[in-house]
Amino acid sequence: MRGLFSTLVLMMLYFVLYKNKKDKDYKMFTNVLFNNEKTAEEFGRKSMKRGFEHKVVEYNEDNHERYWYKWERKSLMQRMR
């Protein structure tokens, strides 16, 4: 029973951001979370159109507030008009 609780598993999640090469700010590409950075990178690479670039960021509190809610607040404000 002792060994069952002594192993700490750290799981990191990632999501994909994109931007037009002309723009300076990244936006959320999709609300899909990945448990592997390599898988997220591959998804971003295969999903981008020409003229766009992507980056993979860790799903943590800072990135969640910075990118996730930014899109949600913007769409909510547009619906309220």
Q: Where are the beta strands (DSSP E) in 1-81?
A: 14-20, 27-28, 52-58
Indicate whether this model's pTM tops 0.75. Answer: no
Q: Encoding tokens for residue 41?
A: 């990178």
Can you tell me which residue has the tokens 């994109």?
18
Q: What are the residue boundaries of the structural domains of the chain, listed by start?
A: 11-80
Contact 33, 58 (CB under 8 A): no
Q: What is the pLDDT of residues 16-73, one digit of tens each?
A: 999 988 998 888 877 889 999 999 999 999 988 889 999 999 998 888 888 876 655 5
Closest C-alpha among 46, 22, 43, 21 to residue 32: 43
